[in-house]
Structure 1
Amino acid sequence: MTDHEEKTMNAAPSLTPERLADVESIRQLTHAYSWAVDNSDLGALMDVFTDDAEWDTSAFGMGVVRGQADIRAFFATLIQNTTSRCHLALNHRIDVEGDDATATVYLHAFVLNPDGRRDESVGYYADTYVRGQHGWKISRRAAHALLEPPPAPVQSS
């Protein structure tokens, strides 16, 4: 278990109204991510990431990309290489410290490929968030597989 995961899993936060609002905002951000990917909305998807964000899918054979331009290109390829997608984000464990936050978010994703094959992924995201002028954003998201992942729809560069 990484330090991030242990810290998130062992967090015992006080439940102030401000903290509850932050946690809900972050939870909604993870749902906005899923909705944007599943609906092929690259503009909405880029709204959830910081300009210098890192997206790590190396556990799924798709490498690491950094910055909005490369993240956008990654997801444009994913959308092009799949017919449809369905991402479920669940069991959020969120730790907020001021304008920074971390979370572990389970994922269950289905992808329909152009050849009709349906792939399924089960794992979790290890997330880092920052609060800025426009609210909470993902600054780093690393996807980790809990079950053997299917073939990668995006080839790492």
Structure 2
Amino acid sequence: MSTPRTDDIVEIQQLLARYAVTITQLDVENLVKVFTEDGTYSAFGETYSLGRFPELVEAAPKGLFMTGESLVEFDENDRNKATGTQPLCFIEHSAHDMRIGYYRDTYLRTEKGWRLSTRAMTFIRRTGVHDSGRPHAIGRPAGG
């Protein structure tokens, strides 16, 4: 039997599937649509606004974003907010090198449905260390 929360989980899972497919296909126009208008992405010691996504996707390695089911937890005080953690295995296309880790997300229900408000990447290193990556230049001016 379907419940409102089951419907919410299905909608969030489809939203996250859309993220994985659009970034794999380098479809930045539809990738940014999975976020709220003021959404952010964090990795490599920085937080980036959506305006930076075309530049980030261009600079990033290309390949397959394989994601697992997100563990979604709803805010008990606000039916329009949730958080989640989603595992990721990225496989670079030319050498099939892998990066593994997970995203920590916040979700908001908007007039367009559930959207990512924040997405933060954590990498899992061969040493077992979990970190957000090494800061590096992506042709970026400071400030997001």
Q: CA deviation at 1:71?
A: 2.4
Amino-acid identity (%) = 23
Query: Is 1:136 equivalent to 2:118 in the alignment?
Result: no
Q: Aligned pair 1:89/2:75, yes or no?
A: no
2-structure distance, mates of 1:67, 1:125: 16
| Deviation digits for residues 116-148 of structure 1 (CA, Å, limit 9, x no counterpart) | 433211111100011111111111111111234
Report the TM-score, using the length of structure 2 for normalisation.
0.79
Cα displacement (A) at 1:69: 0.7
Answer yes or no: is 1:118 the counterpart of 2:100: no
- Within a 5 Å distance, the mapping from 1:7-156 to structure 2 comes to 17-58=3-44, 63-78=45-60, 82=61, 84-97=62-75, 98-112=79-93, 116-148=94-126, 155-156=137-138
SS of residue paired to 1:122: strand
Is the CA contact 2:28–2:53 (under 8 Å) kept in the aligned structure 1? no
Query: 8 Å contact 2:41–2:50 — kept in the other structure?
Result: no
CA–CA distance in structure 1, aligned partners of residues 49 and 43 of structure 2: 14
Report the Cα offset of residue 16 of structure 1.
6.3
Could you tell me whether the CA contact under 8 Å between 1:23 and 1:96 is conserved in 2?
no
Cα RMSD, aligned residues only: 2.3
Which protein is richer in helix relative to its size? 1
Q: The residue matched to 1:118 in structure 2 has which SS?
A: coil
Match of 1:9 in 2: none
Q: Matches of 2:54 and 2:108 in 1, distance apart?
A: 19
Q: C-alpha distance in 1, partners of 2:47/2:58?
A: 13
1:35-60 deviations in whole A, cap 9, x for unaligned?
001111111101111121121112xx
Runs of 4+ in structure 1 over 6 Å off: none
SS at match of 1:28: helix
CA contact (8 A) 1:85 1:111 kept: yes
**CA distance in 2 between partners of 1:75 and 1:65 (Å):** 14
1:40 alignment partner, SS class: coil
| Runs of at least 5 residues in structure 1 that lack an aligned partner in the other structure | 1-14
Structure 2 unaligned spans of 5+: none
